[in-house]
Structure 1
């Protein structure tokens, strides 16, 4: 849970001087953004984090309290300095520079704090961890989840922190890197020659991009990660798996934590995005246990782009909420893309609310536009 300070200039900024523009506070932190998105799509998240009893901490708790979400897993103390990140954007809404003060997360969000909530982890349909955690806390979280049979979703946060996957890859079911984080994760997991960064432009095709990224994707899958959900910005998402991963039954048939919005999400998406579109052709029983499978989901066109910082988090949040509601992984990724579209159209990291009809229409567009990029079958 992090307080973001967003600085957006109204003209291109110059070094060593100020520029006119707008400065705003925004509730942030990758895991917190994802949890807020999950809550707005119908599932009550249980958050394990650390906050100070200070101004930033009070701002971050406002939404949590108003939404009726549990504070039990949030460690609060006067000793803790609430994490803050200051982001300077360019005039197009892309981050151009940032300073992070997040040391308290590693100091106070300890393995000893996490282990107290084993029962909550055991009862969860899925556990999402972000790489802001210290290595000991990250490893403890993933070990606990694996021990109690709860799937783990790893969100790499940044290129530098994505390397922390090396200590927990064997526990991870889902990972959701962007292209740069994918290369970093693959290099941290491989003893072979380091993979280069990719080259692309607006004319790069999905097929060409996949061929460049395939060696890194294969490293993650070979290491034991079951599903790589690779975010490609305006080019959409690549969903990559290896072997007989059961896309249809990762989550519960129905989640007791879902409230009315979650139940409506399940019913609506189940009708608009029929599972048979993929699973009748996939024929899992005929696929080799070692066979990779890759599907490309297109992005959904936005009415306007205001800010891009929350898009990746809302994509994960939409997918996690959908899995918790009982939807399959393919359907859930489509909902994630729809949730991400909503995020880039607002100034906050997470929209104030989601319109279920719009989410459903956008998810259907992404789902019906999805195509298999790579599949090997045994005959």
Structure 2
């Protein structure tokens, strides 16, 4: 349906463990749950989504020299080039443990990400030198500040399209104040406000501040309230989210980012790329999997048509 693009995704690759409550949550007591284990991490999830959508994708990350690390590499390998995942004996593989309520919404999540403390700008320079030429870069905010800053500056120097996908409110502070070189920023409401530092609770003000900081295109996901976006060309817009029955919300934001990138890298407008993002998120929300195993170009386009009834506008 479109020309495949070579993409490198840089950042988190974790083991996701999810415990879904079988009854309403109450503090101070144990709960019966159903547990699952899947491959996760924002960069890794985006990479697998893009791989399933037909792109050539490499993943740059760090895992422990342990069973979880090998399991994660084996689980990711069918869709992603995993040769740039570095194994280290200095820390365990990252883990993300989420407790979900009976509706599939997150109650609490626990992240053990000490393995990324082994990453720095020199580490990134070495990995970068080993990469084949790529058409675009995806960067999450799991790595330390110096590695993130170096990657943004390097993409700016090489004029490589760069999409930054935020991970959490604390980790947006790892991004530098100057964001020149960031082509697309995909974030959520709380993260956008924290990153913008405008002191209020207005997503609109946050987007304007982020455009002024150098980001070319800002996309803010708002859960059931849809998406807001702003571009340096002056485009502003909001889109309503499809009405879907949520099985599990884990991975939906990463699916949105991948669907959005599928759109913009395929030549669609930011607005239509957001629709592809919401379509992919809808596919993920309706499954217990962090990345929907049924995902491919055909299912994504069918979902787009189901919810938006139009073919999209290429720029």
TM bracket (short chain): 0.7 to 0.9
After superposition, residues 176-215 of structure 1 pair within 5 angstroms as: 176-187=186-197, 194-195=199-200, 197=201, 212-215=202-205
Q: CA–CA distance in 2 between the matches of 1:43 and 1:229?
A: 22
Which residue matches 1:342?
283
Q: CA–CA distance in 1 between the matches of 2:101 and 2:195?
A: 28
- Tell me the alpha carbon deviations over residues 158-181 of structure 1, each in whole angstroms, 9 at most, x when there is no partner: 111112233452221211111111
Equivalent position to 1:322, from 263, 270, 274: 263
- Tell me the alpha carbon deviations over residues 238-286 of structure 1, each in whole angstroms, 9 at most, x when there is no partner: 221122xxxxxxxxxxxxxxxxxxxxxxxxxxxxxxxxxxxxxxxxxxx
Conserved? CA contact 1:186–1:219, under 8 Å: yes
Conserved? CA contact 2:149–2:175, under 8 Å: no
Q: Within the alignment, does 1:128 sit opposite 2:123 as a pair? A: no
Cα offset for 1:122? 7.8
Equivalent position to 2:69, from 57, 68, 81: 57
Conserved? CA contact 2:220–2:228, under 8 Å: yes
CA root-mean-square deviation: 2.2
Distance 1:120 1:315, change over 3 A: farther
Q: Which has the higher strand share?
A: 2
- Tell me the alpha carbon deviations over residues 289-315 of structure 1, each in whole angstroms, 9 at most, x when there is no partner: xxx22122332232x310112111001
TM-score by length of 1: 0.73
SS, match of residue 128 in structure 1: strand
Cα offset for 1:235? 2.1
Cα offset for 1:52? 1.3
Distance 1:225 1:164, change over 3 A: same
Which residue matches 1:171?
181
* Matched positions, count: 299
- Tell me the alpha carbon deviations over residues 354-379 of structure 1, each in whole angstroms, 9 at most, x when there is no partner: 25444213324448599xxxxxxxxx
Which residue matches 1:331?
272
Q: CA–CA distance in 1 between the matches of 2:82 and 2:195?
A: 32
- Tell me the alpha carbon deviations over residues 59-103 of structure 1, each in whole angstroms, 9 at most, x when there is no partner: 211222233x32221111333310012111122211111221101
Q: Bigger radius of gyration, 1 or 2?
A: 1
Equivalent position to 1:240, from 218, 227, 230: 230
Q: CA–CA distance in 2 between the matches of 1:354 and 1:70?
A: 18
Q: Within the alignment, does 1:297 sit opposite 2:239 as a pair? A: yes
Conserved? CA contact 2:138–2:164, under 8 Å: yes
Equivalent position to 1:33, from 45, 49, 52: 45
Q: CA–CA distance in 1 between the matches of 2:125 and 2:278?
A: 33
Cα offset for 1:11? 0.7
Q: Within the alignment, does 1:155 sit opposite 2:165 as a pair? A: yes
After superposition, residues 109-120 of structure 1 pair within 5 angstroms as: 109-118=119-128
Which residue matches 1:103?
114
Conserved? CA contact 1:238–1:295, under 8 Å: yes
Q: Which 5+ residue runs of structure 2 have no aligned equivalent?
A: 1-12
Q: CA–CA distance in 2 between the matches of 1:367 and 1:228?
A: 25
Distance 1:178 1:236, change over 3 A: same
Q: Which has the higher helix share?
A: 1
Distance 1:141 1:90, change over 3 A: same
Distance 1:148 1:170, change over 3 A: same
Cα offset for 1:231? 0.6
Q: CA–CA distance in 2 between the matches of 1:125 and 1:328?
A: 18
